[in-house]
Amino acid sequence: MSKTHPNIGAYLIRRLQDYGVRHVFGIPGDYVLGFYQMLEKSPIRVIGVTREDGAGFAADAYARVNGIGAVCVTYCVGGLNVVNAIAGAYAEKSPVVVLTGSPGMRERVNDPMLHHKVRTFSTQKEIFEKITAAAVVLDDPDLAFRQIDDTLAACWRLKRPVYIELPRDMVDVVPRFPSRVVQPKEASDRQALREALTETVKWLNAARCPVILADVEVHRYGLWRELAQFVNRTGIPVAATLLGKSVISERHPRYIGVYEGAMGRPDVQRFVEQSDCLLMLGTFLTDMNLGIYTANLDRAHSIEATSEKIQLRHHRYTGILFTDFMRALLRAPIRKRSFPIPRPGNGAARSGARGVGEGTIDVKQLFLRLNDWLEDSMVVISDVGVCLFGAIDLVIHRGTEFLAPAYYTSMGFAVPAALGAQLANPKLRPVVLVGDGAFQMTGTELSTIVRLGLNPIVIVLNNRGYTTERFILEGPFNDITEWRYENLPALLGSGWGCCVRTGAEFESAWQKARANRQGFSLLNIILDKRDCSAGLHRLGERLAAKLRKRARR
């Protein structure tokens, strides 16, 4: 193989490295073994996991921290197991590269019934076309290099997953023509950008109470520093959505809290909705971000800036890159503001929680105490349900240090996400918040965490079932078998675990977990089966009301 003219597999690996992929998560299988062997010999580290969906969640979290992630699985039995995780990455704009092997092109002659095949040889690709920004099969050597370049560029540009299928007899094929990396050039329409900026500046300067609502695209496009600089320079207060939580340090003096319509704090809701100029940056107006559509955001008082559009009231600009618009705002002549804002802290409640000792611990106490104990070097990774809604009011110290599937809300994200996040940034120690139901789905990735010597603190909120569903519609189908989670270190041969029932036990367990730097720590928090945060209770009531309304029709 010539250094200037690699085979298809080697070129794909080189281009992944160009984008910053240092780890690939997955499980091998016969259709992808040749490419796996090539990966093992490359600088990219292959992370074998216990389940394909765990590989997808790990790659998603890795992408959120690193900027791009990758998962590599075999044909159909592996690929179709990763579909749910990749669907979540698509929904929440996380750039994950799905790499999969498949039967060789010569094996497909006369359409044989090969193992793992579902319907046709293209079935897997057709499924992934629905949940990725681009999907290709590298079945033509003369097109392969260009397909790889274009697909990876789409992943990076659109911040969404892409799919690359490599038939096993194409891995070592050397195309006839040498490769030439062509980076597509993107540029904003200068006149459109100038006009949009002029209109934005005029409106912001005339506003009595401008407010910024920052969301997920500020995370994905790496613009959190620009956001902080803009807030510092203008003094405009900033709220985050649930999906955008930690888009700015929640200790910032102009940060007011998480906005989620009537599901969140009333003072934040009033402040955002009464603004006469709401600057929405990178927003996804999902039902979760809008508090199950309890939000009252007046488009006539809004500026919406996303990767898809810049819109002021009903005046829409096209051809403007979101990154260019954000950076242009930093240079714009916007006057500085100073007016009272809601404060996000929980100081009084925290001081009251410190006095609780031997009493049975509940969700409110757990999160108030945890809020006091978080450190700058920790990244909070939350699963859904009780964990997610309890974590809303945690004060995240620095930007981009909170990860959660806050729109797609798939259970099972958190434990494998801890694996991906800590590999992406070893300086961050994950604090994992996971319900017992979600843990039983993907908690086996603790095995991978043990093998790699990682040290997350895993807090299992154990209420013997699916609490969110209990508030929507009660029934025995919401109950699960209770595990002795604290005994998992004995099973895995590493780690430390304990069972927690009181506030005093939680404090003692946290200190021991914090001191345990050599492996994972697991705290099994025993909770009442109907105990939850106020936010989750409100969510359950609203979803239950919708269910009852549909039943009456």
For the sheet with 135-137, list strands across it: 45-48, 23-26, 69-73, 96-102, 162-167, 135-137
Contact 215, 241 (CB under 8 A): yes
CA distance 167 to 389: 44
The pLDDT value given to residue 348:
34
The pLDDT value given to residue 537:
65
Q: What CATH number is attached to the domain comprising 26?
A: 3.40.50.970
The pLDDT value given to residue 547:
60
Q: What CATH number is attached to the domain comprising 264?
A: 3.40.50.1220
For residues 508 and 403, state if they share a domain: yes
In a domain, 2, yes or no: no
For residues 319 and 463, state if they share a domain: no
For residues 261 and 208, state if they share a domain: yes
For residues 211 and 92, state if they share a domain: no
For residues 506 and 482, state if they share a domain: yes
φ, ψ of residue 485 to 5 degrees: the values are -60, -35
Helices (H), 298-444: 322-331, 347-354, 363-373, 386-391, 414-424, 436-442
Structure tokens at 425: 């940034």
CA distance 499 to 343: 35
For residues 290 and 408, state if they share a domain: no
For residues 125 and 237, state if they share a domain: no
For residues 289 and 384, state if they share a domain: no
The pLDDT value given to residue 374:
93
For residues 210 and 319, state if they share a domain: yes
For residues 457 and 536, state if they share a domain: yes
Pairing between β-strand 315-317 and β-strand 310-312 as defined by DSSP bridges: antiparallel
The structural domain count of the chain equals 3
The pLDDT value given to residue 354:
46
In a domain, 182, yes or no: no
Residues in the chain predicted with pLDDT less than 50, given as ranges, are 1-2, 346-356
The pLDDT value given to residue 53:
97
The pLDDT value given to residue 179:
72
Which of 167, 198, 218 is at the close of a domain? 167
The pLDDT value given to residue 294:
76
For residues 394 and 285, state if they share a domain: no
In a domain, 469, yes or no: yes
CA distance 448 to 416: 9
Amino acid letter, 474: E
Domain range enclosing 92? 8-167
The pLDDT value given to residue 351:
37
For residues 469 and 518, state if they share a domain: yes
In a domain, 465, yes or no: yes
CA distance 389 to 534: 8
In a domain, 177, yes or no: no
Query: pTM of whole model > 0.85?
Result: yes
* Secondary element (H or E) of residue 60: helix 52-66
